[in-house]
Structure 1
């Protein structure tokens, strides 16, 4: 496991009582950007209602991260850099804009799963500050896969590579929306996992997935009928891969944690990028 601790709640004001009015869209966006990025956003509310709105807005935060990643990669290509360097830059952006928390969660989750220990011991291993062999392997393979996939797509077209970067980052945060749906439990009573697990109604999660799928199809339409289908498949398979991991972690750990959410995001992003290399 890495030296970065599991993501915890930011330092907003006092928790809003249950009788408070429903959060506005701005509350949801603040929660999403303030929790899932390092952008200087103040979270005014840290309660279940705000968490619900925030997790529904998570794909918007992902789109913002993806657009920055795509812009940097495209800029390097315009300036004469090759696809591999542009791919490295694009992959680095989400890591920087999240302080590496999703990668940290991936490493922690891999160590917990790889330990083969009972749930309580595995969770304890995930909280330790050192990184184990399973965490190292997971980080290396995932980052290599992301860079290799983006380099291949950038080599075909910088605009298609930009679309892939944006779609993968958005899909990564959509996977978090789906993982926060009703019925998903938290493995610990504290941390980000406990704050957001089970807060999103299933209908809301499906609506978010439908909107992201439609937006991805709209982006793919600029490249042709094949890419309409490819972008939708990228979203679907990215979320599908994250869902399989989420269910496995729930069985192993008794629920989800902030580390698991990070692993889900990286899994979804990687699977989505791989789809863009096919065909």
Structure 2
């Protein structure tokens, strides 16, 4: 249907927006299109907005009205073109315009529109510093693996908190991804959790993880030297970059949103965060040492717990 029309406005609604009316927690949006035809001139720009407050309490089956309704201000913003990203209301709703040519068939969503409209004039694409690896490793039935589940990666600091030993038949997958010592990993699902970190040097590698985890492979570049590569972890976990990742992710709900390899490689890293290589080196060493210390502490605690069972 959309192939016969041109997108004009797209407003993303919060998860659970229709829960009071049908118990649906799915992610929804308001989509306005212009039908193609001889007398129709496609709009030059597309308006997109992400609404956090829509006049009632979302995510609950009971309907409770609230004073804040950002949809009213979003409607005003949609009346005339402006450059950059505008913040709407008090709770983080945003709106922007992007050029019609920036819209693709596989990315018709407000988050993508806003990511295209950001005025990041001085930035470096993540793909210029790291390759995003998403290759798979087949499992063998008679082999025992070090196995890591996504929830065992902390959403507080990004460190690995637990690794199990499992044989191939006990892992619910035919293939997984392998993490090796001091690999940098990023969990693509539910990116607001910020599950980004590095594999400790004494972890039982290779560690098998699901396809929800990417590996960032450093490549020669002019921004971050190999010795300072772990400095990318706090940069990717920063509020500004995390918001970008969330905007570029797609899914039926916020908890199921995922970011693709191409979107991740196009992520905009502000150049000012990459200019001081001495600082990057210190940050990288801090991340490396703290991660290894944390892992050894976790191993010690687990050893004590297992000894008294």
Q: TM-score, normalised by structure 1?
A: 0.26
Q: Quick one: higher RCO (CA 8 Å, sep 6+), 1 or 2?
A: 1
* Structure possessing the higher radius of gyration over alpha carbons: 2
